[in-house]
Amino acid sequence: EMDWDRNGMVSFKEFLFAFTRWIGIDAEDEDESTFSPHGYQGFGKIAGSSALQ
């Protein structure tokens, strides 16, 4: 199921796509505070918070 191009190997991109579909992450479930059009932004917000300094 993960080997979309049927080359006998599962790339990280194929794995990640299959995994996110398996756990049910899609565009409707995205939280704007965690995701942005430019990619995942969660760690930057955590690292920049005053609670960790």
Residues in the chain, overall count: 53
Can you tell me the distance from the alpha carbon of 8 to that of 6, in angstroms, rounded to the nearest whole number?
A: 6
Residue 53: which pLDDT band, with cuts at 50, 70 and 90? very low
Per-residue model confidence (pLDDT) at position 35:
52
Each residue's pLDDT tens digit, 12-49: 998 998 898 888 876 555 555 555 555 555 555 445 45
Maximal CA-CA distance, the chain = 48
Which single residue is written with the structure tokens 């990280």? 12
In sequence order, what are the residues at sequence separation of 6 or more whose Cβ sits closer than 8 angstroms to the Cβ of residue 52? 46
Cα torsion angle, 41, 44, 48, 53, sign:
positive
